[in-house]
Amino acid sequence: MKDCKNIISTTNAPKPFGHYSQATTHNDLVFISGQLAANSDGSHGFENSFSSQVKQCLENVIEIIKEVGGSKESVLKITAYVVGVEHWEEFNNVYAEFFGSVYPARALVPVPALHNNYLIEIDAVASV
């Protein structure tokens, strides 16, 4: 099988904090690594409100997708890792406002903790 994987990187989203790529592509699929609510310059946003962290994570995901010519409409699947199930409704409200009439498949996974005390991490799959 031919190796078609490409590594994607943009300065419009934070650089990885570890040994991974912002995203990889294979054919027309884009696999976006988990995004925390860090700013594109790498500064942290873990002290921001939960809603602000959700928005920043989603914006980071979309900026990476834009690097390969995609948009919100390109998102096929979102997986959100949320510290505390009590944030479920707030996440849903921010998510619905962000995506509007776009309805990607989604999973919301409650977790006990995330790196640097962030409250949310989001990864995604898109098609471009």
Chain segment 18-73, per-residue pLDDT in tens: 999 999 999 999 999 999 999 999 899 999 999 999 999 999 999 999 999 999 99
- Please say whether the beta carbons of 61 and 31 come within 8 A: no
The predicted pLDDT at position 5 comes to: 80
pTM: 0.94
Report the alpha-carbon distance of residue 60 to residue 69 in Å, rounded: 15
Count other Cβ atoms within 10 Å, centred on residue 115.
12
The predicted pLDDT at position 2 comes to: 57
Q: Domain 6-127 belongs to what topology? A: 60s Ribosomal Protein L30; Chain: A; (3.30.1330)
Domain boundaries in the chain? Answer: 6-127
Averaged pLDDT, 116-120: 96
More confident residue, 4 or 13: 13
Query: Is 1 a residue whose pLDDT tops 50?
Result: no
- Please say whether the beta carbons of 13 and 63 come within 8 A: yes
Taking 3-state DSSP, the helix, strand and coil percentages for the chain, each rounded to the nearest 5, stand at: 30, 30, 40
- Please say whether the beta carbons of 125 and 95 come within 8 A: no
